[in-house]
Amino acid sequence: MFAVRDETVTIEKLIDYLKSVEEQSILFWAIVTREEGKHIGNIKIDPIDMESKFGEYGIMLGDKTEWGKGYAKEASERIVQYCFSDEVDLRKVNLGVVEDNHDAVELYKKLGFEIEGVYRLHVLSLIHI
Ligand SMILES: CC(C)(COP(=O)(O)OP(=O)(O)OC[C@H]1O[C@@H](n2cnc3c(N)ncnc32)[C@H](O)[C@@H]1OP(=O)(O)O)[C@@H](O)C(=O)NCCC(=O)NCCS
């Protein structure tokens, strides 16, 4: 499994990111299990283009023991639905994924995302998760 490493994370960048969550220029949630209240991952819509009304969805379950239990699908369905609600009012939700990331590709297919294009030689630096 791979994720794209596109920049170094510094404390300053993290603080800026949290400010943008507070200002709601992006949307960011924790995914927490109902039973134990355990934080198993995060889901976000970031960036959001409010002029053209679209946003980029991303998801990560950091705890691998929780994979394959339907949590990502359930959380994603709710968030995508919320994005199209009157409250957020987006016209489109998009995402990017490395094609080797089969679990994510399968999840996105199940959620109804469609391929609009394929970038060639786009990702140079990958990290193992
Ligand atoms: C991708 C990720 C979020 C999936 O989370 P998950 O909770 O395991 O996914 P779910 O259990 O909700 O499964 C979603 C659907 O995809 C299917 N699926 C997942 N992996 C699959 C695979 N390898 N082959 C076939 N189907 C697969 C599941 O069967 C399920 O469909 P169903 O409900 O019809 O059975 C998780 O693996 C993860 O966090 N990976 C690391 C971070 C990452 O790669 N994020 C995406 C970056 S683009």
HSE-CB for 112 with a 13 A CA cutoff: 6
User: Quick check: is 16 in a domain?
Assistant: no
| Chain position carrying tokens 């404390």 | 11
User: Quick check: is 20 in a domain?
Assistant: no
126 lines ligand 1 (CB under 6 A): no
- CA R_g for the chain: 15
Structural domain boundaries, residue 102? 25-129
User: Quick check: is 4 in a domain?
Assistant: no
User: Quick check: is 33 in a domain?
Assistant: yes
Higher pLDDT among residues 101 and 23, named by residue: 101
* Tally of structural domains, the chain: 1
CA distance 59 to 3: 11
The pLDDT value given to residue 24: 75
Q: What is the CATH number of the domain that holds 104?
A: 3.40.630.30
The pLDDT value given to residue 121: 85
User: Quick check: is 71 in a domain?
Assistant: yes
CA distance 65 to 62: 9
The phi-psi region of residue 72 (left if phi > 0; otherwise alpha if psi is between -120 and 50; otherwise beta) is: alpha
12 CA distance to ligand 1 middle (Å): 32
Which protein residue has the closest C-alpha to ligand 1 atom 36?
Answer: 61
CA distance 89 to 75: 18
Which protein residue has the closest C-alpha to ligand 1 atom 2?
Answer: 104
User: Quick check: is 79 in a domain?
Assistant: yes
pLDDT in tens, 55-96: 999 999 999 999 999 999 999 999 999 999 999 999 999 999
DSSP state of 94: E
DSSP state of 37: -
User: pTM for the full model?
Assistant: 0.87
The pLDDT value given to residue 4: 46
User: Quick check: is 121 in a domain?
Assistant: yes
106 lines ligand 1 (CB under 6 A): yes
70 lines ligand 1 (CB under 6 A): yes
CA distance 41 to 70: 13
Residues facing 31 on adjacent strands: 41
User: Quick check: is 19 in a domain?
Assistant: no
